[in-house]
Amino acid sequence: MKFVCADGDEQLQALLDLTPVQAAGHELVWFNGRPPDADEWRRRVDEAEGVMLMWDLPQGILSTVPSVRVVSFAGSGAGSYVPMEEADQHGVTVCNVPSYGANAVAEHAFALAFALARKVREGDRLVRSGNWRPGALGGVELAGRRLGVVGAGPIGARAIQIGRALAMRVAVWTRSPSSEREEELGAPFASLERLFEESDVVSLHVAHRPETERLVDGRLLHRMQPHALLVNTARSQLVDTDALVCALEQGRIGGAAMDAFEEEPLPLDHPLLRAPNLLVTPHVGYNTPESTAELLGLTLENLLAFAAGRPQNVYTHGSP
């Protein structure tokens, strides 16, 4: 089969291992730069049977390039980047990458937790302002503290491993607990209320679905201890933003950190940026060379599986 990546770039191409494609007797044609218009899109994917999609596929391409049989999107939310009704209408299989970068995101969560616990940002500001006052900051150690992990998927499982390696006392909440899963994770399950009440650090790693929308509301935030920290490297929709800003302004929790937002880039006048003890990063938790290489490999693997007659990671309407 002929595969095409019509919207790649040189950095991504350098991370991609083409050995599996060549070994299976297929071809991958790579283009750098996003096509400027629909005509260029059609020119690049002409005669291709599989499309490796980095960004968004414009409406109308699948209707006018009948050779395309499968689109593999480099990410989880394919429905936001591929015209699904058009794909269905023309019998095009759409695949995604449900999970990748578990270690990268989990490590970033702990980077944020350490920065909050040891007041790294405040220390940097003091030094840059000429205020060398080592005794002004303090901070706490994470070893021996209670870590509450919300979500037991690949990222949550990796966060549990890191927490245990740091000698933290770890508990986890999941929507589908079982004794077998508890034993596998090596951490006890707890109710969401108990986890928020007892944890010194709460780290969110649950998927955003209708049932997890605003999962962390004012009621749960009110249960947290005054020194406790909330770290969210998952979707921002998991947290009631207004309630979080209120909790921070009133000093009801020790601090919070976020890596993703409902509106990106985050407007400079957003209330979150005025909240005290809030650390923010620009949605970079997943962004490492190792994680990107994993993402690209899995995206390509979807095309190879389809070519072999074994479609995998097939995306359907309503998938998170």
Residue 136's pLDDT band (boundaries 50, 70, 90)? Answer: confident
Q: What is the pLDDT of residue 80?
A: 85
Q: What is the pLDDT of residue 212?
A: 94
The pTM (predicted TM-score) of the whole model is: 0.85
Give the residue, 245 or 208, on which the prediction is more confident.
245
| Residue range 168-189: mean pLDDT, rounded | 96
Catalytic residue set = 235, 264, 283
Q: What is the pLDDT of residue 216?
A: 98
Task: Name the β-bridge partners of 94.
Answer: 71
CA–CA separation, 125 and 30 (whole Å): 45
- CB-based contact 13:32 (threshold 8 Å): yes
Q: How far is CA 183 from CA 118, 126, 279, in A?
A: 32, 45, 34
Residue percentage of the chain with pLDDT more than 70: 98
Query: Does residue 173 register a pLDDT over 70?
Result: yes
CA–CA separation, 218 and 214 (whole Å): 9
Matching residue, tokens 């950190």: 257
Give the residue, 207 or 253, on which the prediction is more confident.
253
CA–CA separation, 227 and 235 (whole Å): 24
Query: Does residue 318 register a pLDDT over 60?
Result: no
Query: Does residue 180 register a pLDDT over 70?
Result: yes
Q: How far is CA 106 from CA 7, 52, 166, 242, 318, in A?
A: 29, 27, 13, 25, 26
7-55, pLDDT tens digit by residue? 999 999 999 999 999 999 999 999 999 999 999 999 999 999 999 999 9
